[in-house]
Amino acid sequence: MTDLAAGRPADRSNAPVLAVDIGGTKMAVGVVAPEGQVLVSDRTPTLVRPDDDAEAIWNRLRGLCEKVLDAAGRPVVQGVGVGCGGPMRWPAGEVSPVNIVAWRGFPLRARLAEMFPDVPVRVHNDAVAVVAAEHWRGAGRGVENMLGMVVSTGVGGGLVLGGRLIDGGSGNAGHVGHVVADPNGPACGCGGRGCVEAIARGPALVEWSRAEGWRPDDPAADVRELAEDARAGDKIARETFERAGWALGVGIASAIALCDVDRVVIGGGVSQVGPLLFEPLERTVRTYARMEFTRRARIERPVLDQSAGMVGAASFILRGDRYWSAD
C-alpha cells in the first residue's frame, strides 16, 4: 500500500498489529499497540461442531478478525502475527495442529496474506509465541538468555539466546519437552522414549497415578483433582507430582548446561499446581546442575495472563529484530 499523497510506502511503524492465537480449544484475536498493550480483543471456540471442516474453522477465524478490527475502529495495521499449535511448516505457515484435526497442512499464512496483502504475516508455534511474550514484556524482560516452558497437555517451549528468539533449522527449536529425562522411561508420543513430555504432560500424570492405584471420586478427574488429593496427603498423587517435577528438573538441568541460560520461565496449566511440582523440580535441578554457570539460572513463574499468546504473536511483527528471523 502506498501513501497516495507522497507516492511512497506508508510509514506504519506506529501502527498496531493484528495478533492471532490459535489453540485446539479457542481462537483469540487482538489489536495490539506498538508497545505491546492489547487494545481490543475477542475469542471464539475453535470448533463449534465436532465435525467442523477446515473451511468452517477458517471462516470462523476470518470473522473474528473482522469483528475485532471493527471493534477497534478499522485501524491500519503494520502486520499480522500468529501463534498456532504445531507442528507446522515454518516459516511457510502451513499448519497441522495436533489438536485441530481438520487442519492438516492448512495454508494459514497464505490465507491471512490474501486477507492482508499489504503487510507482513508471520506464523510461529503457539508455545514459542508465549515465550517471546514473556521475554519481551514478562518474566524474562531484560534477560539475554532464557528458556521458556509451557507445561500443559504437552510440554512445549522456546529459547531466547543472545537476546534473540532461536528458531533452529526448521522453526522447531525449544522443544524441551523432547529432551530425554529417563532413557528407560515410558514411550513418548513422538516415537521416542522417556522424554520430559512423556512423563510430565498433564494426561501422563493422570494416567500414571491411575495405573498406580489412584481412585478419584470423579471418574473424569484430571490434574486439578490430582493436585487436591496430593495436598490432602494422598501418597500416589504426591508421588505423581514428585515424578513429574523430577523429569522436568532433569530436562531443565540438561538445557541449562547446553544453552547457558540465565532464567527459566515455567508456565502452563500443569504448572499452576505450584509447589507440588516446583519443589521437586527445583530440588532436581539443584542435584544435576552443579557447575558454577549452571547454578546461576533462576527459575521463575510467568508474569503475563492469558493474553500472552497474542502479545507474543504481535512481537513477531513489532519486535521482529529479536523475535523473527525468517524474512
Residues that bind a second copy (CB under 8 A): 87, 144-145, 159, 161-162, 164, 166-183, 190-195, 250-251, 253-255, 257-262, 287-294, 296, 325
C-alpha distance across the termini of the chain, in Å: 19
Closer residue to a second copy (CB): 215 or 295: 295
Closer residue to a second copy (CB): 31 or 155: 155
CB of 315 to a second copy, least distance (A): 17
CB of 155 to a second copy, least distance (A): 11
How many CA within 13 A on the CB side of residue 323? 27
CB of 204 to a second copy, least distance (A): 17
Beta bridge partner(s), residue 107: 94
- Please enumerate, as own/partner, the contacts of 89-97 that have beta carbons within 8 Å and a separation of 24 or more: 90/123, 90/124, 90/125, 90/167, 90/170, 90/171, 90/172, 90/326, 91/122, 91/123, 91/124, 91/171, 91/326, 91/327, 93/121, 93/122, 93/123, 95/22, 95/123, 97/22, 97/23, 97/24
- Cα angle vertex 180, ends 175, 186, to 5°? 110
Closer residue to a second copy (CB): 76 or 258: 258
Closer residue to a second copy (CB): 37 or 96: 96
CB of 3 to a second copy, least distance (A): 34
Closer residue to a second copy (CB): 50 or 169: 169
CB of 29 to a second copy, least distance (A): 28
Task: Let me know if 104 is exposed, middle or buried by CB neighbors in 10 A (0-12, 13-18, 19+).
Answer: exposed
